[in-house]
Amino acid sequence: MKITQKVKKILVGYEADNPGTKGNLARILMHGRLGGSGKLVILPVDQGFEHGPARSFAPNPAGYDPHYHYQLAVDAGLSAFAAPLGLLEAGADTFAGAVPTILKCNSANSLSTNKDQAVTASVGDALRLGCAAIGFTIYPGSEDQYALIEEIRELAEEAKSCGLAVVIWSYPRGGIVTREGETAMDVCAYAAHMAALLGAHIIKVKPPTEFMFLDAASKVYNSQKIDVAILKSRINHVVQSCFAGRRIVVFSGGEAKDLEGIYDEVRAIRDGGGNGSIIGRNTFQRKREDALDMLNNIIKIYSGKM
């Protein structure tokens, strides 16, 4: 695998990592149609755990089959495919080597009132399945946040020692955090910075709104004249909050939205210096041909062709 200068520059930021971990980061960064560009599009399919099968897959029943998602990621030329243990196991042999995989190692479900996640897979599982990375969600703000942070510290230490990369989904929620606060500018930047401090190689957060949640933070944003007026500027600030761009930052697609809304968001991520999108429901809840067309356009945007 020949590594481009852009990817080499990104890898330089990971000074403490062994060749195995850097090699797996390179696998993701060099794979697919955006390979070598420093941009990523990842397909995550953990929503069945989070929301249930009908809410996740009934809009496009082909999605009940794990092979459908693997094949979609392969045919679209995506950078990686992320999913919980059972889903990855269901296609691990058929699609071995076809696309880098990320094993989601913790999950929540809609039947619980706790803003918490259970550990559902191990580093050993990730190695057995040939994954490039493990994935893990933390909920900054939750009453259970410290347990989640301690769990990923332990898993990340083991993963890195085995040459795997670490992806952290950092989603503020629970405790004092309101629904509007979950995507507030100051809160999203804070959540992204926490993931960087926890040693994440790839950080996943939601695109922030202009809303400010914490009064103390709002005063600093105003006094320092931090530009948060448009999404491009807000993306740039989140990237800045992740060690001044020394960490890979990707942004979630969230709930279903129209195509122009998706494309405008992707342009803002690109222009704001984000590394890409990790987009699930907006992909697999569409019919296959529509999803492939949408992903093709997203890749064109990140390539500067649209």
Q: Which residues are annotated as catalytic? A: 204
DSSP code of 72? H
Cα distances from 279 to residues 5, 45, 72, 142, 147, in angstroms, run: 26, 9, 12, 24, 27
Q: E-strand spans in the chain?
A: 40-44, 80-84, 101-104, 106-107, 118-119, 133-138, 165-170, 202-205, 248-252, 276-278
Q: E-strand spans in 185-287?
A: 202-205, 248-252, 276-278
DSSP code of 63? G
Q: What is the spatial distance between Cα 306 and Cα 302, in angstroms, rounded to a whole number? A: 8
Q: What is the spatial distance between Cα 202 and Cα 204, in angstroms, rounded to a whole number? A: 7
Considering only CA atoms, which of 187, 106, 177 is closest in space to residue 148?
A: 106
Q: Which residue has the tokens 């944003």?
A: 221
DSSP code of 38? T
Considering only CA atoms, which of 170, 101, 150, 108 is closest in space to residue 129?
A: 101
User: Which pairing describes strands 118-119 and 106-107: parallel, antiparallel, or unpaired?
Assistant: antiparallel
Q: Which residue has the tokens 């080499």?
A: 8
- Joined together, the tokens standing for residue 288 give 């296959």
What's the start-to-end Cα distance of the chain, in Å? 28
